[in-house]
Amino acid sequence: MKESFEHFETHTEREKAAIACIIRSTKAQARAEATDHLDELERLADTAGADVLIRMTQERPLPDGAMYLGKGKVEELKKHVEMLELQLVIFDDELSPVQVRNLEKELGIKVLDRPGLILDIFASRARTREAKTQIELAQLEYFLPRLTRQWTHLSKQYGGIGTKGPGETQIETDRRLINTRISKLKEKLELIKRQHEIRREGRSDELARVALVGYTNAGKSSLLNILASSEVFVEDRLFATLDATTRSVTLSNGQHILTTDTVGFIRKLPPKLVASFRTTLEEVEEADILLHVVDAGSKDIEEHIAVVKATLEDLKVAEKPTIIVFNKTDLVPKDERYKIEDLASNYPHSVFISAHHGYGITTLKDEIIAILTESSSEMNVEVPMDHYEIASKLHEIAEVKERKYTENSVLLKLLVHRRNLSRVERLLALAA
Ligand SMILES: Nc1nc2c(ncn2[C@@H]2O[C@H](COP(=O)(O)OP(=O)(O)OP(=O)(O)O)[C@@H](O)[C@H]2O)c(=O)[nH]1
Ligand SMILES: [Mg+2]
């Protein structure tokens, strides 16, 4: 059991799937919304390694307690399962353990819900020890309530599409074992967290920090690449990034800042899953400024912004200075430019860019400078000529507003971010 938790085997074969959701009202808007959500679910399924052959929807105000869909719809779905030889059905909402059990019994194939599918993608994409530990914990916590008195279901439920989850070989597993594993993983994460803290304390280059946040696929990694001339992994799939990557970025006033790319958010992500990413998202908690990247070419801009804001609130970082960065402006057709004007007036602290074309990047950097300046103070310092290296170090961590030379020294008027005040003082002490 213990060993099998450590390994996720990847199957290369793609599975045939159906996706389903209920539409809660008869209004056209509810129908359009459901189509959007199913489009996104289909992309998620594709990322996880399943081909969606059929979509099912049912208009009803509330899901059925026993099977989510009504009995007639489940019958219909069952016919499709047989005819199309489906191996999997994915529901757009979180299902209760009872619903999963009933549906699996009725349909005879694997049943997943949106959070289960997302977990599956995370599990197959996690690379670092930290991400793997976080995912395993999230998987166990998510599946534990679904395992009650259904131990023979463990393998079916745990194994998602692309991955063979923990416990596949151990049908005789018991809850106590899983709980022990959960506490072990929590300890491991606590240790990783402490290591992070130690690393942070030891970091001599305490620069201002900016974190990129946003809906998955908005272009966060692409933006980091253009800001830092780096080559972080970019892909037209959901959840390309799972680990935080930090790069140094030079602003137009010569100041260096650290910019971190983070995991994307998505609608209907249970808060528990977000919480399991706490260690990765610590970078967001540490940031001085958030760049909230939004795909301006999307049909669902407002909903994406709302989902990200709610997630930031969950993480208790919603109060941080934030710049909304509308990316992919190149995808907005010329005759829809009015949309950009509308967004600009609805979101006063926003910048419009195209990470592909490099458009708007200077304006974005200037906005960052402006926010950093608000939390900076002016300092007049004198650096002796024989410590000129200190003057150039100061140039990296503060903005030099004025520079005057005397016979033996250089006089600098600096604008120093509050985060760097103590570092400037330490540097000056070296020159004293
Ligand atoms: N047309 C256009 N496409 C873009 C732009 N920026 C990014 N993309 C594309 O959008 C897709 C997603 O980009 P990423 O940078 O991976 O997005 P992300 O926000 O990091 O996504 P996750 O890590 O999956 O959350 C890729 O196919 C990019 O090439 C842009 O300015 N214009
Ligand atoms: Mg990314």
What's the CA-to-centroid distance between 50 and ligand 1, angstroms?
22
CA distances from 23 to 26, 65, 77, 92, 369 (A): 8, 15, 16, 11, 46
What's the CA-to-centroid distance between 352 and ligand 2, angstroms?
19
Whole-angstrom distance, CA of residue 174 vs CA of residue 176: 5
Answer for the pair 58, 68: CB distance below 8 angstroms, yes or no.
no
Answer for the pair 259, 210: CB distance below 8 angstroms, yes or no.
yes
Candidate from 217, 224, 294 with most ligand 1 atoms within 8 A of CB, to mutate: 217
Q: Is the pLDDT of residue 165 over 50?
A: no
Answer for the pair 355, 226: CB distance below 8 angstroms, yes or no.
yes
Kindly state the helix (H) or strand (E) to which residue 294 belongs, with its residue range: strand 289-295
What's the CA-to-centroid distance between 3 and ligand 1, angstroms?
37
**Dihedral of the CA atoms 341, 259, 310, 304 (nearest 10)?**
40
List, chain by chain if needed, residues with CB within 6 Å of any ligand 1 atom.
214, 216-222, 234-236, 238-241, 264, 327-328, 330-331, 354-356
Q: What's the whole-number mean pLDDT along residues 20-44?
A: 93
322-327 and 163-164 beta bridge pairing: unpaired
What's the CA-to-centroid distance between 307 and ligand 2, angstroms?
17
- 351 Cα distance to chain centroid: 21
pLDDT at residue 174, as a whole number: 59
- 159 Cα distance to chain centroid: 23
Q: Considering only 52-61, 256-265, 302-311, which range has the smallest mean pLDDT? A: 256-265
pLDDT at residue 164, as a whole number: 45
Q: Is the pLDDT of residue 2 over 60?
A: no
**Residues 267-323 pLDDT 10s:** 887 777 777 777 678 888 889 999 999 999 998 999 999 999 999 998 889 999 999
pLDDT at residue 169, as a whole number: 44
Residue 331 CA: nearest ligand 1 atom is: 1
Lookup: tokens for 199: 């690393």
- 26 Cα distance to chain centroid: 33
Q: What's the whole-number mean pLDDT along residues 341-350?
A: 91
Percent of the chain with pLDDT over 90: 48
pLDDT at residue 181, as a whole number: 87
Domain annotation for the chain: domains and CATH numbers: 2-164 (3.40.50.11060), 208-372 (3.40.50.300), 376-431 (3.30.70)
What residues sit around ligand 2, an ion, with C-beta below 5 angstroms? 220-221, 240-241
Half-sphere exposure of 60 (CA within 13 A, CB side): 16
Q: Is the pLDDT of residue 171 over 50?
A: no
Q: Which-ligand-closest: CA of 352?
A: 1
What's the CA-to-centroid distance between 262 and ligand 1, angstroms?
13
Average pLDDT, the chain: 84
**Residues 360-405 pLDDT 10s:** 999 999 999 999 888 888 999 999 988 888 888 888 888 888 999 9
Q: Is the pLDDT of residue 160 over 70?
A: no
- Which residue's structure tokens are 């208009």? 59
Whole-angstrom distance, CA of residue 161 vs CA of residue 46: 10
Q: Is the pLDDT of residue 14 over 60?
A: yes
Which ranges of 257-319 would DSSP assign to H, the alpha helix? 271-276, 278-286, 301-314
| Residue 295 identity | D
Q: Which residues pair with 363 in a beta bridge?
A: none
Whole-angstrom distance, CA of residue 138 vs CA of residue 144: 10
How many other CB atoms are there within 10 angstroms of residue 206's CB atom?
15
Contacts of 222 (CB under 8 A, 6+ apart): 234, 327, 355, 356
What's the CA-to-centroid distance between 188 and ligand 2, angstroms?
26
Candidate from 125, 216, 234, 247 with most ligand 1 atoms within 8 A of CB, to mutate: 234
Helix (H, G, I), strand (E, B) or coil at 255: coil
Q: What is the DSSP string of 8-26?
A: -EEP-SPEEEEEEEEE-SS
- Which residue's structure tokens are 């010329």? 334
Answer for the pair 44, 117: CB distance below 8 angstroms, yes or no.
yes
